[in-house]
Structures are given as structure tokens and as C-alpha cells.
């Protein structure tokens, strides 16, 4: 019997809402998972992809990872992982480095034996490249076998990767799939038979028919096997309302895995609290109604993230379209916009770390008349402004890259920006990114640091003391990504 901890989508280094607090939250959640693995003395930690939030993580998330993996190493617990879409690069990635320094094992088609179970890995593959996959896994040395994958798999309703095809084309009879990419924890039963179309329709539901007597019978006969998402360890989006989790998984020696009996969901207690307030609004309701509803539901937030959703009241009947469209007196069936600023201010007053607002109503179109607006040539305007400011050589390279974004595909812009800034920091000292005030125009100095370039940041030279490469890198990437 193998006893495993299954986790995924830890997204270490994610500075959500541009806050260091949120980056620390992701680190704390990962630390809790590792602590649980040690306390439960599992045979291995299985990570199903998206260890980091970017393929070029900074020093801080790297230090977090090394500290936690060293704790696992001292406890003699192997860390097994695959490459998720956030780790994918065209060259070497951090997963390979972790393997080289003996802090992790990369799961692949050869399989890794843990106790009496062989565990295989299937890295994330973009949808356009999946038709070329052959799913040829080596024969296991054990009676039970697990496949760890990263992607949106069928029969989940949002799935775009055929689990049935994987199982049908693989020479290995897998008993369980532990997967990542979907940030919600859930499981389904999937048929080994590719002709069984029902299992790829997404109709199976872990809370309904998979818990029926028939579902249990097919599972025990291994005609269907569980495929299970562990969920993300922290919320990467405010609308992820379910608790954040990981799973403790028991794999019997014969591989007969029953999802209800052998997959134990555990809630991550250290995950930052997200407080959700849904505000139903009738026509004519305004910001006062929103503020009153929030105050009725919340006394204090204690640094929680506040998510406010504005929605039309259920008992608010639709108003029929006016027969005469020119009749301005006719009542309209849509609602007026609610300003976001006062809601965010109220969240701050109540102690929120940050407040996010979504408006799900049908809103009135803005019918105000505007004068014609003529836009100047952007490139020409930037070039003209460059003549009036002092720009370091390093900053000039970054400006060129920011202006010529058509040279890069959108999906690769962040990686290109990070690689460029990292290369500059390796060649140049931090001082190369700051302009000496004595070299700047008088009007630039008088107008303050926001009006003249200082490389990758807008701070004045006098504020550049004790600024390290890591901070420069983060600030540069934020500016370029914005």
C-alpha cells in the first residue's frame, strides 16, 4: 500500500493584486502542505504541476521552495512532480534543476516506484500538439499504477483533453489519475473503454452518480478509475469560492482505488480568507444600498480579501421593450452603474486587505455625447518625449523592447521581458538603472521622480540606496507588463 500526498497549482511567487502579502500567502500554503506530509509520514508528495507562477521565478519563491524541499529531504520523503503550463519553457526549466540537485524526482513515461505502486508522469501539452502523443509508458514493476497529469481533462465539463484516449492507448492499466490545472478539488470516474462515450460527456458527477451503487461497482471492477484534482493551495482568482485543499491518497496494493474511501480531502487552514458579499439590486438602487448590505453582513474583515458581486434582484421583473424607441420616458429594463471607489473605500475601512468588485447586471449604455477625440501618433509622441529626458543605456534597451511589442507574441511577452531584465541585471550593477540628478534637466528634477526616466523604476537617484537586483527586477517587470 502506498500513502501519498497529492497537491498541485501552488503558484509560488504569485504576487496577486501586486501585494507582497499575497506572495507570502502562497508560500505559507505550500509550507502547510509540506508540514502535513511530514506529520502524516507519507511515502511521497506528488505535485501535479504549476509549482511556480512563472517559468522564471524570483529569488523569494525559490528560497521558499528550497527551504520546504530540504524539510522533506530530512524527513526522507521524496518530492515527485511534473511540468505544468506555468513551468513550460522552450529550454531548460526549474523542474530539471531540482532533479539535478537531488531535491525532486520528475515523473515520466518510465515510472517511479513508491512502495508497491508505480507512478508515471504526463507533462502539460498544448492542445494543438496532443494529436502527436503516443502515450507509450514502460511496463510497471508493481500491480498498481498511477498517472499524474496536468491539463483540463474530460469528463469534467470544461475538459479539452480526452482521458479515455490516454487510457485506451496506454499499454499500462492505470488504477488512478492524480491531476492538476483545474483549481477546484473534485473527482470523476472515467471508463477505460474509448467507445464508452458517456464518460467523456462530462455527465458523471462526483456528488451524484459516481457515488451510486452502480458507480461503486464499476470502480471496484476497474472498468472505471478515479481521476482526481487536488485543487490549488491558494486562490488565484477571487471567484474561487470553495476552500483550498490538498489530498491524502491511499493506494491499495492491488490498485483497487475507491475515491470515497481512499481520497481524503484536507482544507488548507492557512489560506487567506476571502469574504463574499452578493448584493441583489433592484432598479433605482444605488451605492447606499450596496454599502448598507455590506455593513449588515460584515463587522470586520481582519485583512481578508473582500469580493463584492452586484447582481439583479431575483424578484425584479423584466420591463418590456417600449413600443416607441424614441419615447425617453419609457422605463428601461437595465440598471445604472454603481461607482467602485466607495465600495473599495468601505472595504478598507472594515479592514480588508483588498476589495474586488464585479457587476453582473445588465447596465445602461452610456448615452452621453462626446466631442471628437483625435489621438496623436503614439510612437512619435514617445520618441519626442525621449529627447527631453535622461535615459540610461539599460533603460534605453527596455524602452525599445516595450515600444516594439509587435515582435513578440502576447503569451511570450512576460517571459521575454523577464529574460531581458535578468540579463541586464547580470551585466550591469544596480547603479546603471538610475540617473544622476546632476545629469538630468533642471525641469525634470523640479517636476519630481515621476517625470524623468530612471531605468526600470521611477525613483529618483537619491532614493536608490539599498535597492537590490530582486526589487529592480520585480519593478521592471511590473512596468513592462503594465
The catalytic residue positions are: 86
Cβ atoms < 10 Å from Cβ of 409: 9
Asked if residues 271 and 235 have their Cβ atoms less than 8 Å apart, the reply is yes
Please report, for residues 135, 149, 173, 424, the alpha-carbon distance to residue 168 in angstroms, rounded to integers and kept in the order given: 9, 16, 9, 49
Residue with cell 455593513: 295
Looking at the DSSP bridge assignments, the partners of residue 280 are 311
- As a three-state string, the secondary structure of the chain is CEEEEEECCCCECCCHHHCHHHHHHHHHHHHHHHHHHHHCCCCEEEECCCCECCCCCCHHHHHHHHHHHHHHHHCCCCEEECCCCCCCCCCCCHHHHHHHCCCCEECCCCCEEECCEEEEEECCCCHHHHHHCCCCCCCCCCCEEEEEEECCECCCCCCCECHHHHHHHCCCCCCEEEEECCCCCEEEEEECCCCCHHHHCCCCCCCCHHHCHHHHHHHHCCCEEEEEECCCCCCCCCCCCCCCEEEEEEECCCCCCCHHHHEEEEECCCCCCEEEEEEEECCCCCHHHHHHHHHHHCCCCCCCEEEEEEEECCCCCCCCCCCCCCCCCCCCCCECCCCCHHHHHHHHHCCCCEEEEEECCCECCCCCCCCCCCCCCHHHHHHHHHCCCCCCHHHHHHHHHHHCHHHCCHHHHHHHHHHHHHHHHHHCCHHHHCCCHHHCCHHHHHHCHHHCCECCECCCHHHCCCCCHHHHHHHHHHHHHC
Phi-psi label, residue 49: left if phi above 0, alpha if psi -120 to 50, beta otherwise: left
Q: Which three cell numbers stand for residue 53?
A: 507562477
| Cα angle value 333/336/339 (rounded, 5°) | 160
Give the whole-angstrom CA distance, residue 224 versus residue 214.
Answer: 11
Edge-first strand order for the sheet with 305-312 is 274-281, 305-312, 354-359
Residue 144 phi/psi, 5° resolution?
A: -110, 150
Amino acid at each position: 500500500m502506498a500513502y501519498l500526498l497529492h497537491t498541485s497549482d501552488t503558484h509560488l511567487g504569485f504576487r496577486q493584486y501586486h501585494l507582497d502579502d499575497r506572495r507570502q500567502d502562497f508560500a505559507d500554503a505550500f509550507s502547510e502542505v509540506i508540514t502535513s506530509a511530514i506529520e502524516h509520514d507519507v511515502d511521497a508528495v506528488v505535485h501535479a504541476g504549476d509549482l511556480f507562477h512563472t517559468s522564471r521565478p524570483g529569488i523569494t519563491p525559490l528560497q521558499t521552495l528550497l527551504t520546504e524541499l530540504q524539510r522533506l529531504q530530512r524527513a526522507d520523503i521524496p518530492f515527485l512532480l511534473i511540468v505544468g503550463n506555468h513551468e513550460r519553457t522552450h529550454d531548460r526549466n526549474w523542474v530539471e534543476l531540482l532533479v539535478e540537485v537531488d531535491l525532486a524526482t520528475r515523473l515520466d513515461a518510465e515510472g517511479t516506484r513508491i512502495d508497491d505502486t508505480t507512478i508515471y508522469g504526463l507533462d502539460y501539452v498544448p492542445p494543438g500538439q496532443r494529436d502527436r502523443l503516443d502515450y507509450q509508458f514502460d511496463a510497471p514493476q508493481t500491480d498498481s499504477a498511477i498517472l499524474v497529469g496536468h491539463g483540463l481533462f474530460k469528463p469534467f465539463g470544461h475538459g479539452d483533453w480526452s482521458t479515455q484516449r490516454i487510457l485506451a492507448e496506454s499499454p499500462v492499466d492505470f488504477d488512478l489519475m492524480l491531476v492538476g490545472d483545474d483549481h477546484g478539488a473534485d473527482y470523476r470516474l472515467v471508463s477505460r473503454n474509448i467507445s464508452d462515450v458517456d464518460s467523456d460527456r462530462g455527465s458523471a458527477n462526483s456528488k451524484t452518480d459516481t457515488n451510486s451503487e452502480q458507480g461503486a461497482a464499476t470502480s471496484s471492477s476497474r472498468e472505471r478509475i478515479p481521476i482526481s484534482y487536488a485543487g490549488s493551495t491558494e486562490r488565484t482568482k477571487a471567484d474561487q469560492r470553495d476552500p483550498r485543499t490538498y489530498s491524502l491518497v491511499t493506494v491499495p496494493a492491488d490498485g483497487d482505488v475507491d475515491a470515497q474511501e481512499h481520497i481524503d480531502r484536507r482544507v488548507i487552514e492557512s489560506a487567506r480568507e476571502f469574504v463574499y458579499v452578493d448584493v441583489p439590486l433592484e432598479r433605482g438602487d444605488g451605492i447606499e444600498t450596496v454599502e448598507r448590505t455590506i455593513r449588515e453582513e460584515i463587522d470586520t474583515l481582519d485583512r481578508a480579501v473582500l469580493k463584492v458581486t452586484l447582481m439583479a434582484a431575483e424578484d425584479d421583473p423584466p420591463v418590456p421593450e417600449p413600443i416607441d424607441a424614441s419615447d425617453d420616458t419609457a422605463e428601461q429594463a437595465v440598471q445604472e452603474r454603481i461607482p467602485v471607489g466607495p465600495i473599495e473605500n468601505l472595504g478598507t475601512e472594515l479592514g480588508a486587505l483588498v476589495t474586488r468588485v464585479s457587476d453582473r447586471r445588465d447596465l445602461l449604455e452610456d448615452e452621453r455625447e462626446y466631442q471628437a477625440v483625435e489621438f496623436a501618433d503614439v510612437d512619435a509622441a514617445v520618441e519626442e518625449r525621449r529627447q527631453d529626458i535622461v535615459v540610461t543605456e539599460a533603460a534605453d534597451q527596455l524602452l525599445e523592447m516595450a515600444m516594439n511589442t509587435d515582435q513578440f507574441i502576447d503569451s511570450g511577452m512576460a517571459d521575454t521581458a523577464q529574460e531581458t531584465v535578468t540579463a541586464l541585471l547580470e551585466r550591469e550593477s544596480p547603479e546603471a538603472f538610475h540617473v544622476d540628478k546632476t545629469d538630468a534637466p533642471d525641469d525634470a528634477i523640479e517636476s519630481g521622480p515621476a517625470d524623468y526616466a530612471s531605468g526600470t523604476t521611477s525613483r529618483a537617484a537619491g532614493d536608490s540606496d539599498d535597492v537590490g537586483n530582486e526589487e529592480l527586477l520585480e519593478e521592471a517587470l511590473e512596468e513592462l507588463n503594465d
